[in-house]
């Protein structure tokens, strides 16, 4: 006789699937000295640009560069690369797109291979259908042009920023639950985890 035994539910833990937002670094060169210089030029004056953001290293551009030139993509010192990125408050956790030797070295350095990961656009825009017979434009009184509104501090959940009649430039992270709106364009130079709407007035 077969007796079915009910599995006991663990009292100390539960395992569920989760989605983790990642920042992606598209590595275009194995020259870490050059990378260090360019990171310093870009982020040296804003040390709090990132805030312990989880990072995926995408090696696909190296493969593309190798196919266009005579030399194959070189070796990567992943411990040094991880340390360099960590100095900018980035936490490398995953890697994709490398050749077998690069992926083996990345795995040995503690990175998780994620070959199926896809990059998403960080510049959403509001799209509106054009009317079949649009009315002729009416002349509007001339007004002084407004400069772009620059956000250089992180936006937390529940916060909203509206750039009325101007562009919006994001230099700091927009956390989940926050919202940014602009009548013009939105230029994103930091992690965007909340909602963004460009062209709010068409």
- Residue 2 in this model has a pLDDT that exceeds 70: no
Residue 64, phi-psi category: left (phi > 0), alpha (psi -120 to 50), beta (remainder): alpha
pLDDT at position 126: 40
- Residue 169 in this model has a pLDDT that exceeds 60: yes
pLDDT at position 136: 61
Q: Kindly list the distances between the CA atom of residue 89 and the CA atoms of 83, 151, 186, 187, in Å, as whole numbers in the listed order.
A: 10, 19, 24, 22
Domain boundaries, the chain: 23-113, 149-197
Question: Helix H segments across the chain?
Answer: 32-43, 60-68, 78-86, 100-108
- Residue 139 in this model has a pLDDT that exceeds 60: no
pLDDT at position 143: 46
Encode 141-195 in three state secondary structure.
CCCCCCCCEEECCCECCCCEEEECCCCEEECCCECCCCEEEECCCEEECCCECCE
| pTM as predicted | 0.57
- Which CATH number is 149-197's, of 3.40.50.720, 3.40.250.10, 3.30.450.20, 2.160.20.70? 2.160.20.70
Query: Distance from first CA to last CA of the chain, Å, rounded?
Result: 72
Alpha-carbon radius of gyration of the chain: 23
pLDDT digits (tens, 9 = 90+) for 19-48: 777 889 999 999 999 999 999 998 888 777
H helix and E strand count, the chain: 4, 10
Q: Which two tokens stand for residue 189?
A: 């130079």
Q: What is the CATH number of domain 23-113?
A: 3.30.70.260
CA distance 166 to 156: 22
Whether residue 178 contacts residue 196, with contact meaning beta carbons closer than 8 Å, is answered with no
pLDDT at position 97: 93
Q: Which residue has the higher pLDDT, 35 or 145?
A: 35
């Amino acid at each position: 006789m077969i007796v079915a035994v009910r599995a006991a539910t663990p009292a100390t833990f539960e395992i569920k699937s989760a989605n983790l937002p990642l920042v992606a670094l598209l590595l275009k060169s194995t020259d870490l000295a050059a990378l260090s210089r360019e990171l310093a030029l870009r982020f040296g004056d804003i040390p709090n640009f990132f805030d312990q953001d989880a990072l995926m290293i995408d090696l696909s551009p190296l493969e593309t560069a190798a196919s266009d030139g005579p030399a194959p993509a070189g070796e990567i010192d992943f411990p040094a690369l991880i340390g360099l990125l960590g100095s900018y408050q980035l936490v490398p956790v995953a890697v994709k797109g490398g050749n077998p030797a690069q992926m083996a070295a990345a795995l040995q350095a503690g990175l998780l291979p994620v070959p199926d990961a896809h990059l998403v656009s960080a510049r959403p825009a509001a799209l509106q259908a054009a009317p079949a017979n649009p009315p002729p434009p009416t002349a509007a009184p001339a007004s002084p042009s407004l400069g772009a509104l620059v956000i250089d501090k992180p936006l937390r959940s529940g916060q909203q920023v509206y750039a009325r009649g101007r562009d919006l430039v994001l230099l700091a992270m927009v956390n989940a639950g926050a919202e940014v709106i602009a009548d013009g364009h939105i230029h994103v130079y930091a992690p965007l985890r909340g909602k963004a709407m460009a062209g709010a007035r068409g």
